[in-house]
Amino acid sequence: MILDLKNIFLNENEKLSVKTEINSMDDITSNGVDHAFQKPVFANITVQNHAGVIDFEADTELDYHFCCDRCMKVSHRKYAYQFRHILVAALSEESGDDYIEAPDYKLDTDALLRDDILLELPSKFLCKESCKGLCPKCGKNLNEGGCGCDTHEVDPRLAVLKQLLSD
């Protein structure tokens, strides 16, 4: 969604509130799950001019599909994030990453929120906090029960030490 913010930039205390759906995230792949965002991301956006400072706030809700990093089970989780930015009509060299530029008083909210959400998502996904993962020998999902594999195998590099201890 492209927001025309000219009225906001030019008038103090002007406010704009918009509810939108972001559909541009359906092509994202996560840990082998095609279309990690199978539903649109919902966002409530508020842009307001506070004494010449243009404040952008967005409350987002999303349903994210992923493969567990331990057991590879496909799961999904709902997230809610809040984002806040200060908008400027043009960036100067000193402004750096502190401000978001809205050239010609227009802002692409889908692109901005897409980047915000992808940066905010966790780097590790688990189906549940107590996930036991997969057996390193046979590959069985240990959340479904034991596999019977001998997990107390001695590292071959330390086998010499084991011989010394047994003598």
Give residue-wise pLDDT tens across range 19-46: 999 887 877 777 667 778 888 899 999 9
The token duo for 61 is 């809700």
> Does 117 share its domain with 145?
no
Q: How far apart are CA 91 and CA 4, in angstroms?
A: 18
> Does 166 share its domain with 126?
no
> Does 71 share its domain with 138?
no
Q: How far apart are CA 108 and CA 101, in angstroms?
A: 10
Domain range holding 7? 2-131
> Does 115 share its domain with 68?
yes
Residue that the structure tokens 């359906």 belong to: 26
Q: Are 46 and 15 in contact, with CB atoms under 8 Å apart?
A: yes
Tens digits of residue pLDDT in 82-126? 999 999 888 777 666 778 989 899 999 999 999 999 999 988 889
Residues in the chain: 167
> Does 103 share its domain with 46?
yes
Greatest CA span in the chain, whole angstroms? 87
Domain count, the chain: 2
Tens digits of residue pLDDT in 55-65? 999 999 999 98
> Does 157 share its domain with 75?
no
pLDDT average, residue stretch 138-165: 81
> Does 23 share its domain with 75?
yes
Mean pLDDT of all residues belonging to the chain: 87
